[in-house]
Amino acid sequence: MSTQIGTVSVSILDKEYQVACPPEERDALISAARELDIRMRDIRQSGTVIGLERIAVMAALNLSHELLQAKGQPAEPQVDGDQLQRLCDKLDKALNNID
C-alpha cells in the first residue's frame, strides 16, 4: 500500500507556504493553517508583539497552553502576568541576540 504525499499551499500572515501532506490530511492541514493565521493576526493587531518570529512563538505558546488544558493537564507551571511578561522579555532578548 503506497501513501501518496501531495503538496498543499497555505497562507499565513499573507505569506504562502508549501507543505507536504497526505491527501487524507489535507482538510485538517488547511483548517490548522487558517486557525494559526487568525491567531497570529490577532497577536499582530494587539500591537504588543512585533516581528513575524515573535508572533509565531506567542501563537505557538498559546496553542500549546490550550492543548494542555484540553488534555486535562495543567499547563505547568502556572504563571501570573508578571511572570509572563518576564518570559516575553527573555524571549525578545534571546531573539534579538539571534538577529
pLDDT in tens, 30-76: 999 999 999 999 999 998 888 889 999 999 999 998 988 888 865 55
CA distances from 29 to 10, 42, 84, 91 (A): 8, 20, 30, 28
Is 31 domain-assigned? yes
pLDDT of residue 78: 62
- What CATH number corresponds to the domain at position 63? 3.30.160.880
Query: Are the C-beta atoms of residues 63 and 39 closer than 8 Å to each other?
Result: yes
**pLDDT exceeding 70 applies to what percent of the chain?**
88
- Range of the structural domain that residue 33 is part of: 6-98
Q: Is the pLDDT of residue 6 over 80?
A: yes
Report how far residue 79's alpha carbon sits from residue 6's, in angstroms, rounded to the nearest whole number.
Answer: 41
> pTM of the full predicted structure?
0.66
Nearest-Å Rg of the Cα atoms of the chain is: 16
Report how far residue 10's alpha carbon sits from residue 62's, in angstroms, rounded to the nearest whole number.
Answer: 21
Is 1 domain-assigned? no
Q: What is the mean pLDDT of the chain?
A: 85
Report how far residue 39's alpha carbon sits from residue 54's, in angstroms, rounded to the nearest whole number.
Answer: 13
Domains: count for the chain:
1
**Mean local confidence (pLDDT), 9-17:** 94
